[in-house]
Structure 1
Amino acid sequence: MYYFIVNKTSGNGKGYQSWLKVEEILKNMEIDFLVEFTEYVGHAKEIAEKQSFFQDAMAIVVIGGDGTIHEVVNALVLKDVPLAVIPAGTGNDYARSLHIPFNVEEALERVFKGIPTWIDTPKVDKEYFISIAGMGFDGKVAEVTNQSKSKNILNKIGLGNLVYIINIFKVLFTYQPTGVKITIDGKEIDFHDVWLIAIANLPYYGGGLKICPDARADDEKFDICIVSGISRWELLLVFPRVFRGSHITHRHVSMFKGETVLLAPNSNMILQCDGEIMVKEELFFSIEKKSLKIL
């Protein structure tokens, strides 16, 4: 039995269109399945937590974007049932990082033929995420993007990935960097004029920005990118390099690896995890090693 969790509204309706294709294939192949559709924020996690979803499950298959995957992951950590994904969101960075096809038929074939494997699951405070936690400038960009009216318009014409990039330029000239004390595996480092901190389990966020190109979900470590002490105009010039991941050699970019990260900013910094805005009392990041079973 395959269990599907479908966010019909993800990608401005792409989730539902993808499901219709999947449903037709499942029926033609006479494959047993159950499906539930999300109706509100947090519903995907509630569905995945149902005990019935773990009985004889070949896989729990998410059809949606990174936000929906984020919710389901928080229900599946340390459970012996694999997660599979058919990407249908705006950014689809989880799928991009793990080379999951964006084509519905090809992604579904991977569900049937994929080999289960265990990957690490990062968490902040007590909440798990799957790809990247970003603080500061990118957190603000994610907040503006989630509130953007142009997101749906660009999704309709297949240019949803541009939303994040457009909002980078909107935020660039108003954002104020701040000082941050960061502790990685017990070692404290002070940074001044911090623009962003990305704590990554996978390479991509923001719809294809390769912020931590060497990040892997099975190496039991975070990749950490810190951009600090840079002017707005220089940041604007460096930004295109993020698409290739070559920004990591820039003099104002610092890269680290570690198993635990504690952040103490001098002023409030917006936190996003997998593109979703989070409010956390404690900014302590750790890794649950080999804790999520995926296809």
Structure 2
Amino acid sequence: MTRPVTLVVNPAARKGATLRMIDPVTDILRAHGWRVDVVVTRSADHASQVAADANVDDLLVTLGGDGLYGRVAAGAVVSGCLMAPLPAGRGHDLVRALGGPGDMRRAAQLLAVARERRLDVGLAGDGDPSTATVFLGVATLGYDSMANTYANDAPRAVPSSLVYAYGGARTLVHARPRPLTLVVDGVTHEFTGWNVAIGNSGRFGAGMRVNPDASMSDGLLDVTVVTDIPRWHYPAMLPRLFRGTHVDGVRVRALRGREIRVITPHVGDVYADGDLLEASPTTFRALPDALRVLVPAP
């Protein structure tokens, strides 16, 4: 008996390269006994709606990057359906955090022996998941948000592993430290700093562990604040970001809580899972065990 699966494809990921991946992925899934329907998304809202309209027993396999994962997860939290991310974007940091393979074909093959896992999700904005923005990886404001803008506009010639380094280098010219006030579970923390990263998985930028101790099963969000370090320290910190050894408790500080409120004179752009949010939320919350995900067995 064949098992049904819906392949949800972001046609814009990797500048359209995901459309060429549909046939190879479909062939692999069918060879392992899946009956495949394909949905090519028209927008981020459409991706969320496809998942929200699914039945609780449905499996949605996402072919795209972290932005698509987040949008499908937003709908899956509402419907309760099962989601399986395939690494088809430039970063696929959720797949990295879950210990899955970076090769799209190998990941598709392993779905036949994968297991279900419950994950926390992050919520950016006030309200429940139907009104707030769901994110799986990291929400950023400050330096990282500006770098994300430049990274998204990076030329094709920039390798995916270096696209965020490219964005960070350009940001060094324009970014400035500013006053930051964070309220974490009711406790106020004040800094002068460059950046705030609020993490669920804690990974972004094609492998950077910006929140190195983040867990997707503890019901909490991790916060990393880069204080007023000298400008030239930022590029020197990049290798430690990939290792997760950049938090020293002085210049780079870590906090953790269920609810984080950001209070600054100007919040600026906020990115979540690499996508610019239409509004700039100031409240971030963890929603425990909200998402069912199919991941490779260890």
Secondary structure of the equivalent of 2:266? coil
Stretch of structure 1 that moved more, 194-203 or 16-25:
16-25
C-alpha spacing 1:34/1:176, structure 2 compared with 1 (3 Å):
same
Secondary structure of the equivalent of 1:36? strand
Distance in 2, matches of 1:77 and 1:177, equals 36
Equivalent residue for 2:232?
A: 233
User: 1:196: how far off?
Assistant: 0.6
Contact 1:79/1:292 (CA < 8 Å) preserved in 2? no
Contact 2:100/2:107 (CA < 8 Å) preserved in 1? yes
- Is 1:17 aligned with 2:20? yes
Equivalent residue for 2:137?
A: 131
What pairs up with 1:77-92 in 2 under 5 angstroms? 77-92=77-92
Equivalent of residue 7 in structure 1, options 6, 10, 13: 10
Q: Which amino acid aligns with 1:129?
A: F
Q: Which amino acid aligns with 1:10?
A: A
Kindly provide the CA deviation profile for residues 198-256 of structure 1, in whole angstroms up to 9, marking residues without a partner as x.
11111311111111111110011111100012110122322321111111126301111
4+ runs deviating over 4 angstroms: none
User: 1:167: how far off?
Assistant: 1.4
Contact 1:14/1:89 (CA < 8 Å) preserved in 2? no
What pairs up with 1:152-191 in 2 under 5 angstroms? 152-154=156-158, 159-191=159-191
User: 1:117: how far off?
Assistant: 1.7
Equivalent residue for 1:36?
A: 39
Equivalent of residue 29 in structure 2, options 26, 30, 45: 26
Distance in 1, matches of 2:52 and 2:45, equals 11
Give structure 1 stretches of 5+ with no counterpart. Answer: none
What pairs up with 1:243-262 in 2 under 5 angstroms? 243-249=242-248, 251-262=250-261
Kindly provide the CA deviation profile for residues 139-196 of structure 1, in whole angstroms up to 9, marking residues without a partner as x.
11112222x150x343xxxx2231211110111121112101100010001111x111
Q: Which amino acid aligns with 1:121?
A: V
User: 1:279: how far off?
Assistant: 3.5
User: 1:78: how far off?
Assistant: 4.5
Stretch of structure 1 that moved more, 84-93 or 275-284:
275-284
Distance in 1, matches of 2:106 and 2:234, equals 38
Contact 1:134/1:271 (CA < 8 Å) preserved in 2? yes
Equivalent residue for 1:120?
A: 120
Contact 2:28/2:109 (CA < 8 Å) preserved in 1? no
- Is 1:71 aligned with 2:71? yes
Equivalent residue for 2:49?
A: 46
- Is 1:205 aligned with 2:211? no
Give structure 2 stretches of 5+ with no counterpart. Answer: 126-131
Q: How many pairs does the alignment contain?
A: 285
User: 1:121: how far off?
Assistant: 1.0
Secondary structure of the equivalent of 1:173? coil
User: 1:34: how far off?
Assistant: 1.1
Secondary structure of the equivalent of 1:176? coil
